[in-house]
Amino acid sequence: MALCQEWLPAQGVERDMIFRELNNAKCKTYLLASGSMGRAVIIDPLKERVERYLGVLAYHGLKLELIVGTHTHADHRSGAHELSELTGAPVAMHRRAPAPHVRMHLEDGQRLIVDDFELKVLYTPGHTPDSISLYAEDRVLTGDCLLIHGTGRADFAGGDAGEQYDSITRKLFALPDSTLVYPAHDYRGHTRSTIGEEKTSNPRVAGRSREAYVELMNNLGLPLPEGIQEALQPNQTEIETAAMHFPTLAQLNSVRQLSPAGVAERIGAAAAPLLLDVREPDEYTGELGHIAGARLIPLRELPERAAAELAPFKEKEIVVICRAGVRSVTAAAILAGLGFDHVCNMKGGMLDWNDARLPVER
Ligand SMILES: [Fe+2]
In DSSP notation, 252-269 reads HHTSEEE-HHHHHHHHHS
Residue 271: predicted pLDDT: 87
What are 175-234's pLDDT values in tens digits?
999 999 999 999 999 999 999 999 999 999 999 999 999 999 999 998 887 778 789 999
Do the domains at 17-218 and 247-355 have one common CATH topology?
no
Please check whether the domain covering 17-218 is classified as CATH 3.60.15.10: yes
pLDDT tier at 302, thresholds 50, 70, 90:
very high
Tell the burial category of 10 from Cβ atoms under 10 Å away from its Cβ (0-12, 13-18, 19+).
buried
Residue 121: predicted pLDDT: 98
User: What whole-number distance in Å separates Cα of residue 118 and Cα of residue 93?
Assistant: 16
User: What whole-number distance in Å separates Cα of residue 55 and Cα of residue 163?
Assistant: 38
> Ligand 1 (ion): which residues have CB within 5 A?
73, 144
Give residue limits of the domains in the chain.
17-218, 247-355
pLDDT tier at 9, thresholds 50, 70, 90:
very low
Ligand 1 midpoint to CA 128 (Å): 7
Residue 202: predicted pLDDT: 98
Residue 240: predicted pLDDT: 81
Ligand 1 midpoint to CA 9 (Å): 28
Helix, strand or coil, per DSSP, at residue 183: strand
Ligand 1 midpoint to CA 71 (Å): 7
What are 270-293's pLDDT values in tens digits?
889 999 999 999 999 999 999 999
For every residue of 14-69, DSSP letters joined together read: -S-EEEEESS-SSB--EEEEETTT-EEEEES-BGGGHHHHHHHHHHTTPEEEEEE-
Ligand 1 midpoint to CA 72 (Å): 7
Ligand 1 midpoint to CA 310 (Å): 36
Asked if 127 contacts 71 with a C-beta cutoff of 8 angstroms, the reply is yes
What are 133-173's pLDDT values in tens digits?
999 989 999 999 999 999 999 998 899 999 999 999 999 99
Ligand 1 midpoint to CA 261 (Å): 31
Tell the burial category of 279 from Cβ atoms under 10 Å away from its Cβ (0-12, 13-18, 19+).
buried
What CATH number has the domain spanning 247-355? 3.40.250.10
What are 306-326's pLDDT values in tens digits?
989 999 999 899 999 999 999
Ligand 1 midpoint to CA 331 (Å): 23
Checking DSSP bridges between strand 180-183 and strand 139-143, what pairing results, if any?
A: parallel
Ligand 1 midpoint to CA 222 (Å): 14
Ligand 1 midpoint to CA 75 (Å): 7
What are 231-253's pLDDT values in tens digits?
999 999 999 877 788 998 889 99
Ligand 1 midpoint to CA 356 (Å): 29
Residue 15: predicted pLDDT: 57
Residue 227: predicted pLDDT: 76
What are 41-67's pLDDT values in tens digits?
999 999 999 999 999 999 999 999 999
Ligand 1 midpoint to CA 268 (Å): 40
Helix, strand or coil, per DSSP, at residue 229: helix
Ligand 1 midpoint to CA 296 (Å): 31
What are 59-110's pLDDT values in tens digits?
999 999 999 999 999 999 999 999 999 999 999 999 999 999 899 999 999 9
How far, CA to CA in Å, does 227 sit from each of 35, 79, 126, 173, 224?
37, 16, 21, 32, 9
Ligand 1 midpoint to CA 136 (Å): 21
Ligand 1 midpoint to CA 229 (Å): 14
pLDDT tier at 2, thresholds 50, 70, 90:
very low
**Average pLDDT of the segment spanning 324-331:** 96
Ligand 1 midpoint to CA 202 (Å): 18
Ligand 1 midpoint to CA 145 (Å): 8
pLDDT tier at 6, thresholds 50, 70, 90:
very low
Ligand 1 midpoint to CA 308 (Å): 38
User: What whole-number distance in Å separates Cα of residue 348 and Cα of residue 323?
Assistant: 7
Say if residue 17's pLDDT is above 90: no
User: What whole-number distance in Å separates Cα of residue 133 and Cα of residue 145?
Assistant: 8
The residue among 77, 46, 27, 70 whose CA lies nearest residue 246 is 77
How far, CA to CA in Å, does 46 sit from each of 51, 235, 238, 291?
10, 11, 13, 35
